[in-house]
Amino acid sequence: MFSYRHGFHAGNHADVLKHVVLVQLLAHMAAKEKAFSFVDTHAGAGSYSLGSDFAQKRHEFENGIGRLWKADKLPAALGAYLAQVRALNRDGRLHFYPGSPQIALQMARPQDRLHLFELHSTESEVLQAYFASSDRRVSVRAADGFGGLRALLPPPPRRGLVLMDPSYEDKEDYAKVLDTLRDALRRFPTGIYAVWYPLVQRKESHRMAAELENLARGDWLHASLRVCTPPEDGLGLYGSGVFVFNPPWKLEAALHAALPALAQLLGQDGHASYSLKFSQT
């Protein structure tokens, strides 16, 4: 589980879906003057060079952010997401892809706080160095985000957004996500929690949305995107999903407009599809 390096996958279709949702959630949090805390349990390296050996080995970004980079007349949610990517590429050329920590930093205000966890030794060193010159808003911990989240809940301003997106290379991550969320929702039931998960040929992945839905005691939203049919050999990522506990009420409308465009832009074999479910209590 410590071999995963997100640089191979930065900016792919799964990142696009995850970060489209994240930008909407951060914008919601920043709409009120009161401070908020952002917690990223698996922060990665912070930002990624698309010219690196990692990114160039698989070119996954070409079928993700690369397809949106020069697209015209995008729905508002995709335009807002693309603006955050452009903020890191001010010369108009796609050199870098912002990870969740960088997007959160760009959208945070002076009163907000970022808590970033990364257990992978190399990735955590890169993350520490990346934010070494940042202001006191950012706290980076070389630690397990599953366990570290507990100490931060509830956050002092009682406004918080948690992103949980492990690699799931270790199948135990599925159970850890559920256990961690169960505890977090007891400690801070009004927080917003966004959980990303992969669509792969694994039973834990197929059950994930239903398991998350069973945990929900309030409003929830589930968005998923399939960019191709499941591979016949059973290997490979063919889509992903994001499940949000306590979503802002505008999120459904934003994704209702964005997901069809994503399916069209990111589809790889003519069988791309999406789903969007929203439940209010």
Domains, the chain, with CATH or none: 6-279 (3.40.50.150)
Instruction: List pLDDT tens digits, range 204-251.
Output: 999 999 999 999 999 999 999 999 999 877 778 999 999 999 999 999
Spell out the alpha helix ranges (H) of 108-171: 121-130, 145-152
* Rounded Cα distance, 280 and 249, in Å: 9
* Measured CA angle at 201 (ends 61, 11), to 5 deg: 10
pLDDT tens, residue by residue, 28-47: 999 999 999 999 999 988 88
Whole-number Å distance between alpha carbons of 24 and 31: 11
The token duo for 144 is 């397990």
- Catalytic residues, by residue number, are 165
Residues contacting 232, CB < 8 A, separation 6+: none
User: Using CA atoms in the order 35, 127, 180, 240, what is the torsion angle rounded to 10 degrees?
Assistant: 100
> Which DSSP helix (H) or strand (E) runs through 85?
helix 76-86
pLDDT in tens, 78-132: 999 999 999 999 999 999 999 999 999 999 999 999 999 999 878 888 888 888 7
